[in-house]
Amino acid sequence: MSDREQGQAAGWRIDAGDAPGVLVLAGEIDFSVTPAARERLLQLTEKYTGDLVLDMADLTYIDSSGLALLLEARKLLQEHGRSVRIRSIAPQVRKLLQLTQLGEMFGLSDEA
């Protein structure tokens, strides 16, 4: 079973989006799936050479380990002169990023 199939079976997925450098995060990313999600995310970030855009409109849940994964990806990209931003986000995930004050790091405004 591929990483993608394992993710879908576990209730999450990270896939290439509708344009180069766009990644779609969907489902639920928590401590039980973070190692596999990390592997998949890093695999896809290496595929592109420019900045990344995260589409998280279908991400219904993310816990602290998932947030740590996003921060790790941001740090790795910054070390190579690249950036990452979020272009769309589910309301409940937006609220979490606002509460943790991490949204601004990914280009989110305070507006809903």
Q: What pairs with residue 26 in β-bridges?
A: 13, 58
- By CB atoms closer than 10 A (0-12, 13-18, 19+), residue 82 is middle
Q: What was the pLDDT predicted at 109?
A: 78
Q: What was the pLDDT predicted at 106?
A: 95
Q: What was the pLDDT predicted at 1?
A: 45
**Which pLDDT tens digit goes with each residue over 27-47?**
999 999 999 999 999 999 988
pTM of the model: 0.86
Q: What was the pLDDT predicted at 111?
A: 60
Domain ranges of the chain: 3-104
Confirm if 93 and 58 have CB atoms less than 8 A apart: no
Q: With bands split at pLDDT 50, 70 and 90, how would you rate the model's confidence at 26? A: very high
Q: What was the pLDDT predicted at 4?
A: 54
The full length of the chain comes to 112
Residue 3 neighbours by CB under 8 Å, 6+ apart: 36, 39, 40, 43
**Which pLDDT tens digit goes with each residue over 52-101?**
999 999 999 999 999 999 999 999 999 999 999 999 999 999 999 999 99
Q: What was the pLDDT predicted at 9?
A: 54
CATH of 3-104, one of 3.30.750.24, 3.30.2130.10, 1.10.287.70, 3.10.20.30: 3.30.750.24
